[in-house]
Structure 1
Amino acid sequence: MGTFSWTHLLIIALLFVLLFGAKRLPDAARGLGRSLRIFKSEVGQMQSESAAEAAHSDNPAVQQPLLAPAPHAQALIVEPQPSRRSI
């Protein structure tokens, strides 16, 4: 019940053609393909960098945090002061 049959896929394809038009679909598919290629290359680059960092670390059992908090990141809590009005 949870799988798509060929008729479901055909209906979805026809809806895309009706909504976006036959001229825009190749451009949209091309843009999606480029985006996926860029995403895959970035993920691969991140994985290779993390593997290189793990190989160069002195103690691989202790993992370093990816982002260190900034020293000024703590918010100051300011309590409201009562307003003084003179009549």
Structure 2
Amino acid sequence: MGSFSIWHWLLVAVVIILLFGAKKVPSAMGDLAKGIKAFKRGLNDDSDAPAAAAPAPAPTPVTQAQTAAPTQPAAQPSAADPKAS
């Protein structure tokens, strides 16, 4: 049940030709091939675009500003603290 023999594939091909006609099958396969090529081209363009579109920004000099000393928040009573209850 896992693999198809050549007879299975020939039967599928005959059914497809009977359903769609001999003239439409090659044009459909050509359209499918064009779609696959366009998809692959789009994948390649997308992978190249971010590297080219996002140049590294120039480093900016860092200036030191005076900041106030950080203050510690007031201690919150904890649940284990007996004075809180």
Please indicate, yes or no, whether the TM-score normalized by the shorter chain is above 0.5. Answer: yes
Match of 1:45 in 2: 45
TM-score with structure 1 length normalisation? 0.54
Matched, 1:27 2:10: no
CA–CA separation in structure 1 for the residues paired with 2:55 and 2:12: 50
Letter in 2 for 1:17: I
| Structure 2 residues without counterparts, runs of 5 or longer | 58-85
Deviation at 1:26, TM superposition (A): 1.2
Aligned residues: 56
Instruction: Name the residue aligned to 1:63.
Output: none
Give how far 1:44 is off. 1.2
The share of aligned pairs that are identical, in percent, is: 36
Aligned 1:1-87 pairs, distance under 5 A? 1-50=1-50, 52=51
Q: Quote the Cα distance in structure 1 between the aligned partners of 2:20 and 2:26.
A: 10
Moved over 6 A (4+): none
Specify every segment of 5 or more residues in structure 1 that has no aligned partner in the other structure, as ranges.
Answer: 59-87
Alpha-carbon distance between aligned partners in 1 of 2:4 and 2:46, rounded to the nearest angstrom = 34
Over aligned residues, Cα RMSD in angstroms?
2.0
Relative to the length of structure 2, the TM-score reads 0.55
Q: CA deviation at 1:23?
A: 1.0
Q: Aligned AA for 2:26? A: P
Q: Partner amino acid for 1:24? A: K
